[in-house]
Amino acid sequence: MSLRFGTDGIRADARDVLTAPVVAALGRAGAEVLGADGLVVGRDTRESGPSLAAALHAGVQAAGGGSVDLGVVPTPAVALWCAQENVAGAVVSASHNPWHDNGIKFFAAGGRKLSDDVQDRIQVRFDQLLVSGDTPVQAQGDDRHAAAVIRHVDNVVGSLQGRSLEGLRVVADAANGAASTVAASVFEQLGADVTVIHADPNGRNINDDCGSTHPATLQAVVRETGADLGVAFDGDADRLVAVDGAGEIVDGDQIIAICALDRQQRGTLAGDAVVVTVMTNLGFRRSMADAGIRVIDTKVGDRYVLEALAAGGYSLGGEQSGHVIFHEIASTGDGVLSAVQLLDVVVRTGRTLGDLAESAMTRLPQVLRNVRVADRPDDVDTALAPFVEAATARMADRGRVLIRPSGTEPLIRVMVEAETDEEAQQEADALVAAVESLFS
């Protein structure tokens, strides 16, 4: 299997593909390209995490750099350390994937995601080192775990500038992942009455029927306990999905819409603009247009959102999946920070999350299908253009079609939005059939 960078680093099965020698070579390549005298390394709670982190440290030290070990911390805690210390960093995580997968993603000095050019340079050097196979596979970094947790918690709590979440009853789902190290402390310090669930990681239960990709338990607990709302994070805690008091999902599009409208009303939405990806719901776009907020589109992937935020000097952006970026506060997506910012709107306005979500946007029916293929093809747009054009013509201005290859898996993703579920399903069926006929 050829390991290539996708939309968020490199991911693979850690049992037989993303092994210690592979990660050591990747760590060495990253350190050589990124410089900054070495890397800081954080990880989530996967069983393979300690050995792969040790391999990263070995690779960094083989490149002549020093390494700092932050232990189990959210991805944004690593980015924050990189920003404050002006060093490069790496995170050992496969985000929302199952326990047996793992991955490596890098931050440049200053806590920024990598550009395509820098990523390509690491890829070239990584490929060379994989062939030579002469990188040690185990070393230790300087342990700064406790300091990293404190810094991250302080940054999130401090983002409310003295305001509190007192009076809110919150259920927080830590996904048995990195949020387990910070979630309770953040909400307790801000005065919320918090119940934290799925915060007992054992190496294999990360994202297992829990977290932002499996919110059913959170929905049930919110309903059963009468909590005001719930928040769910993914394995490395850089994304957020919320649940209102009735147990209804509030996704990334709705969270961004709520925060964009709130910031516009308070005069803190830079440029009266928000940055999102092409996957963002048409209902979001209509709502922002009605409010006079510009919508700036990027390719799928939070690093592209970050690039656009930095280039335009904008303050808010994100993805439907729950990566929400408050650019004036953090250099990357932060699920716990996003939850705090969202809950701050609830407290300040005195409105329920359900009410805020309903008034922020009307979500159009959206059908998402993943079609597995033998390998990720390069000619998806050209090959499927006639089918996409036909579907778009049939729906006129009532809907939207997006087809793209996954950045991390051998899948082609088909998305259809329409005025009705029936129409969206019908067009999606036709497009899936076209994909299968051409690529399966």
Residues 255 and 227 in one domain: no
CATH of the domain at 403: 3.30.310.50
Length of the chain: 440
pLDDT at 408: 66
Residues of the chain below pLDDT 50:
none
- Three-state SS at 351: coil
Residues 283 and 257 in one domain: yes
Q: Which residues pair with 129 in a beta bridge?
A: none
CATH of the domain at 239: 3.40.120.10
Residues 231 and 254 in one domain: no
Strands (E), 146-280: 169-173, 193-197, 229-233, 240-243, 249-250, 273-277
The answer to the question of residue 200 being in a domain is yes
Q: Are 106 and 114 in contact (CB under 8 A)?
A: yes
Q: What residue spans of 267-403 are helical by DSSP H? A: 282-291, 302-312, 335-349, 353-360, 380-395
Residues 329 and 378 in one domain: no
pLDDT at 352: 98
**Residue at a domain's end among 246, 271, 304:** 246
pLDDT at 190: 98
pTM (2 d.p.) = 0.91
Give me the sign of the Cα torsion angle 65, 143, 42, 26.
positive
The answer to the question of residue 347 being in a domain is no
Residues in contact with 172: Cβ distance below 8 Å, sequence separation at least 6, in sequence order: 179, 183, 184, 187, 194, 195, 196, 197, 230, 231, 232, 233, 339
The answer to the question of residue 88 being in a domain is yes
H or E element in which residue 414 lies: strand 411-417
Residues 196 and 138 in one domain: no
Residues 92 and 128 in one domain: yes
The answer to the question of residue 2 being in a domain is no
Which domain range does residue 228 map to?
150-246
pLDDT at 340: 98
The answer to the question of residue 394 being in a domain is yes
The total number of structural domains in the chain stands at: 4
pLDDT at 35: 87
pLDDT tens for 169-190 read: 999 999 999 999 999 999 999 9
pLDDT at 99: 97
Residues 220 and 270 in one domain: no
Catalytic center residues: 95
The answer to the question of residue 344 being in a domain is no
